[in-house]
Amino acid sequence: MQIIDWELSGVGDIFFELALIPFTNQFSETDEREWLKLYFGSIEEEAYRLLQEMKFVAMVREVAWGMFYSGLTKGEIHHDFDYYKFAESCVQRIEQGIYQL
């Protein structure tokens, strides 16, 4: 059984949703290729390339999310997560070419 949550890309690019699980779980290249093979039934280099590009898009999304919540929670002392530092670490990873959390 395969379950994919299409909440964010139901009417958009399927690779965005397909990239989120490998992106957030730090799949290896082998795992990513297997992931695509499970979904499409075979693996093509174009699909792998698109997955890598969407991992970059996912990282940019994480930067925006972190910055938004940093502003939203500014001045609060009850949260235990530093959204600004999270966004900053994502920017650093983008600059280094690392598209994993």
Question: Model confidence over 14-58: pLDDT tens digits?
Answer: 888 888 888 888 899 999 999 999 999 998 999 999 999 998 888
Q: Which two tokens stand for residue 10?
A: 């139901």
Q: Which residue is associated with the tokens 């949550």? A: 5
Q: Which residues contact 20 (CB under 8 A, 6 or more apart)?
A: 8, 58
Structure pTM?
Answer: 0.72
Distance CA 20, CA 55 (A): 7
Torsion angle of C-alpha atoms 59, 65, 71, 73, degrees rounded to 10: -120
Whether the CB-CB separation of 99 and 61 falls below 8 Å is answered with no
**Which of residues 9 and 99 earns the better pLDDT score?**
99
62-95 per-position pLDDT tens digit:
899 999 998 888 877 766 788 899 899 889 888 8
